[in-house]
Amino acid sequence: MIAGLLAGCLNVSLEAQRNLPIGLTPEEEQLMMSGSFQFGSTQRGVTAVPSFPVRTMAQWEEVQSLVLTWTSYPAILAQIADAAQEEAQVIIHCSDSNAVKTYLTNAGVPLYNIRYIETSFNSIWIRDYGAHTIYKNEVDSLLLLEWIYNRPRPADDAMPNVYAAFKGIGIHSTTQSPNDLVNTGGNWMVDGFGTAFASKLILDENEPGNPYGVSAKTEAEIDTIMKRYMGISRYIKMETLPYDDIHHIDMHMKLLNEETILVGQFPAGISDGPQIEANLLYVLSNFNSVFGTPYKVIRVPMVPSTSGNWPGAPFGNGAYRNYPNFVFVNKTAIVPVYRTQYDTTAIRILTEALPGYNIVTIDADNSGANLISAGGVIHCITNLIGAADPMLISHQNLPDTYDDQNPYLVDAYITHKSGIASANLYWSLTPGTGYQAVAMTNSGNGHWVANIPAQAVGSHVYYYVEGTAVSGKTQVRPMPAPAGYFHFQVLGTPSNVDEVIAMEMDNIFPNPASSVTCIPVQTNLTFSGSLKMYDMLGKEVTEIYSGSFPMGESRYFIHAEKFPAGVYSVVLERNGGGRFVQQLIIR
């Protein structure tokens, strides 16, 4: 009787409050301990295993809708809606659509591509309780797939069915034993070709004795459910982080494409930094991208509080301020920001990593709308519905080359349910302009090929791929092309042993520096060495990094405010010979 009253009181409280954190409240913890809440109790969607092959959409693919729940933090929601409606339809779940329209209008947001669903809800965190886009036979029928939400929030858990019905999209669910599965969208990242990343939270929440009442599952059984319902053939699981209470990987990493991972970086030894580095090493040491080559990693700094606190009790219990928790909406990336001295570095890194994308920033760390203090940011409060008529284009960016004599083969996988009528390659030596078109040839099995002519040493080559379906639909990759592009450089053939390993530091930024400072390192081959900072007397001030420098571009960070003002030398040194020096001014 007492448990029943508790459940009833909580449901009333949730409906009234709707300002719930991303984690559990004390009342919710009590309810889960009592065992009185039945998770996934409502039968919804198709619970049977799909009878056809399925593919889960990657987040950088084309979408038709972005989905929000209008509750707490309306100023942030309004900015997201404004930016997203330029790219896709925005669906807002709310209790009073007229009130939402009034708020948006007063905030100067036009209402030309926004739709409203008046419905019940419990919280803002729709990434975790929303559904995920899957396609029958890779690019055929659009469907949605939902799991059991790991919070005792029944209205949130039922939300995917509400917007699936609104859009007229079929929905499958893992709510019936033996396929009943608890999972959350913030702990889910896919490459569009059968690889998914997560923390081991997925194992913990479905193990024997779990508090959700779902049937106990081994890791192999979970993998089988993901294979059958979502087409995931490789499910990479990393250790949970000690100081991230929700254990969602979107709070520190993001896939930018099939082979590139954006990863947040703490100062050495701080907060979850050591475990993130161990997880990253585990991934890089054991898995390659879908292209069969090592993953590329781009680092972006994590951000402390204004008082210098970091996540975790030993480090001050600061909020989990990060940049990877952003959302792609077709050609736009909506990114959380915190303070200018950190944002400048992060946005420059993202701009270089995502050429051509419209990067919209939203302050999530101020007294008027301190979303990050509730445990999540932009990715956590948005969800996506994929395009109803997708064209899938995949291509691995050509690497830098020494070859200035032979043409460069571009191979792209292009598919559409009506078939591909033609494809074109566009290339240029000037980014974003003056492209030359080359017709691509169908080489079979969905692959289209064409050559870029050989270019002189020192050339920077920019290019993109376009497909045209039999139905007439066209699509490009990267999606922002021609403003966006793939890119490689012609380095020329090494003439002697000393030139085999070419390393350099790109310009340190910002410089002069007063807070987080980025040191980009470029190398054509992996080498062992060190990156150190010295004062004007030649005394070593700090070792920024020591060990193996991976091929390509890597980014290393220092917090300039920890050092006295002055002029310093940053020295990149290769074991066995080779040295590169750049000056850094700290204010």
Give tens-digit pLDDT for 476-500.
999 999 999 999 999 876 544 444 5
Look at 30 and 111; give whichever has higher pLDDT.
Answer: 111
Q: Are residues 355 and 396 in the same domain?
A: no
- Identify whether residues 382 and 396 lie together within a single domain: no
**40 pLDDT tier (thresholds 50, 70, 90):** confident
Strands 114-118 and 89-94: parallel
Report the C-alpha gap between 468 and 137 in whole angstroms. Answer: 19
pTM score over 0.85: yes
Judgement on whether residues 247 and 194 belong to the same structural domain of the protein: yes
Rg, the chain, Cα only:
25
Do 364 and 453 reside in the same domain of the chain? no
Give me the CATH number covering residue 459.
2.60.40.10
Residue 453 has pLDDT above 60, yes or no: yes
Q: What is the mean pLDDT of residues 294-322?
A: 94
pLDDT for 4: 36
**Range of the structural domain that residue 291 is part of:** 2-386
Asked if the structure places residue 494 within a domain, the reply is: no
Whichever domain contains 569, its CATH number is 2.60.40.1930
Are both 158 and 173 inside the same structural domain?
yes
- Would you state the structure tokens that stand for residue 149, as one six-digit string? 């939400």
Q: Which helix (H) or strand (E) holds 383?
A: strand 383-386
Counting the structural domains of the chain, the total is 3
Do 208 and 291 fall into the same domain?
Answer: yes
Mean of pLDDT values over 365-391: 95
What confidence tier does 536 reach under pLDDT thresholds 50, 70, 90? confident
In this structure, the answer to whether residues 461 and 567 fall within a common structural domain is no
Choose the final residue of a domain: 351, 386, 421.
Answer: 386
* 144 plus 257 within the same structural domain: yes
Domain end position, chosen among 489, 512, 529 = 489
Q: Does residue 495 form part of some domain?
A: no
> How many CB atoms lie under 10 A from the CB of residue 217?
24
CA distance 103 to 83: 16
Strands 332-337 and 358-363, how do they pair? parallel
State mean pLDDT over 115-139.
96
Residue 159 in domain: yes
461, 547: one domain:
no
Residues 176 and 231 in one domain: yes
> Is it the case that residue 17 has pLDDT exceeding 80?
no
Q: Are residues 131 and 197 in the same domain?
A: yes
Q: Strand 253-257's sheet: what is its strand order?
A: 253-257, 260-265, 296-301
On whether residue 381 sits in a domain, the answer given is yes
Average pLDDT, the chain: 91
Q: What is the CATH number of the domain that holds 57?
A: 3.75.10.10
Do 354 and 411 lie in a common domain?
Answer: no
222-228 long-range CB contacts below 8 Å, 24 or more apart?
222/181, 225/174, 225/179, 225/181, 226/196, 228/49, 228/50, 228/179
Q: Place 7 in a pLDDT band, splitting at 50, 70 and 90.
A: very low
Of 339, 362, 386, the one marking the end of a domain is 386
Q: Between helices 74-84 and 97-106, what is the axis angle to 10°?
A: 80
